[in-house]
Structure 1
Amino acid sequence: MPESAHSAQPLTTLDARPPCLATIEAVVAGGRAVVTCRGEFDVGAQELQADLYAVLDRSATGVDLDLEEVRFCDCAGLNVLLSLRREALDQGKTVTIRACSPTVARLLDLTGARELFVTEDFGNPAASKPPAVEPIPVVEELPEPVDVDRELRLEVDQLRRAMRTRPAIDVARGIVMASFGLSAEDAWTVLVTASQNTNTKLHHLAEDLMGAVHGTPVPEQQRQQIAAAVAKVREAGPISRPPSSPAA
């Protein structure tokens, strides 16, 4: 019997790569590049990696990221930023985050990655104020060298912690999606909201939800906050917004 056209279709014609729903806009001035990112930084954002590296190459001292218009970011999107930072360290440069949306701020705080994108002078208004007395002319100083070993050790520690907690959090998000019929983004919002309102670390909340699958009851306060968060995202409709502050 001849094989059907559908079954004979070569798998190589299928493109399973997720679409890139993010964009970047770069301006290089004063030795640094300011990169404004917009959209959704998920696994599809890996397509922007080469463009980010090219911007880094054009800068003298590094890249400042403006993530204020990034409306969604998960661990895959964070990996794109961490990869850019590692490349910058190899070149003796730095990558900072000058502004970010609540979504990105929450992810940075939950993974402990925020400090990886901060320099000593970043965010210090006093550093840009002129002195009270007339300054003495000095020769322009070169940027201080980056302590690559220290930065890499810090990054490894943070990534190890994220890798230990990520599987449980991903499973818990799947449980919420299946239990309440929510999208991945809304399920994430439910978990983070319940984590904030119960003052519970996100990975601890995830472990409690996984235990419920095996018959261990979820603590009453957590159960109530999860139910309230589900009701809130359903009331918000398909385009729900995440909470404005990160979990404690």
Structure 2
Amino acid sequence: MTQHEEPAEKIEELQAEVAQLRQALASHAVVDQAIGVVIALSGLTPERGWEVLRTVSQHTNIKLRDVARHVVRWPDAGSLPTDIRRALRRALVEARAVHGGRSLVAPDQRCRGRGGALSGKTE
């Protein structure tokens, strides 16, 4: 290896690391926003909201960041993918049964206007 190759390799490694860190930061922000949506739906704590999202991810075999993206986009999209909606409903019911919590959003405000309610019903 020459003197010039070593710094070039280091630059490439650092650029890759920066790209990974940027992706992680963006994913973290989306997950935090999705936790907020779960909290609004359920009245659970942030820790329990995280557990709900993780459970949905595990039961649907969808990456957590992708589940979070769907949950955050839910109000604009008007619906959740069926597998995520079902898993989220189950996870919320289980979390409330074990840890308590109550809905902070009135049932008629849960994205019903565009068919996104957890019940799967549309207006």
Q: How far apart, CA to CA, are the structure 1 residues paired with 2:72 and 2:26?
A: 15
Which residue in 2 is equivalent to 1:213? 75
Which residue in 1 is equivalent to 2:43? 181
Q: How far apart, CA to CA, are the structure 2 residues paired with 1:211 and 1:160?
A: 21
- Work out which of the residue numbers 189, 199, 206 in structure 1 matches 2:61: 199
Cα shift readout 1:53-104 (whole Å, capped 9, x = no counterpart): xxxxxxxxxxxxxxxxxxxxxxxxxxxxxxxxxxxxxxxxxxxxxxxxxxxx
Q: How far apart, CA to CA, are the structure 2 residues paired with 1:194 and 1:152?
A: 34
- 1:16-165 matches, within 5 Å, as 152-153=14-15, 155-165=17-27
Q: Is the contact between residue 42 and residue 96 of structure 2 (CA under 8 Å) also seen in structure 1?
A: no
1:221: Cα distance to partner? 1.2
- Long gaps (5+) in structure 2: 1-9, 101-123
* TM-score, with length taken from structure 1: 0.33
Q: Which has the higher contact order (CA 8 A, sep 6+)?
A: 2
Which residue in 2 is equivalent to 1:166? 28
The one-letter code sitting in structure 1 at the alignment partner of 2:62 is T
1:195: Cα distance to partner? 0.8
Q: Per residue, is there more strand in 1 or in 2?
A: 1
1:156: Cα distance to partner? 2.3
Query: Greater CA radius of gyration, 1 or 2?
Result: 1
Q: Per residue, is there more helix in 1 or in 2?
A: 2
Q: How far apart, CA to CA, are the structure 1 residues paired with 2:64 and 2:70?
A: 10
Corresponding position: 1:234 with 2:103: no
Among the aligned pairs, what percent are the same residue? Answer: 34
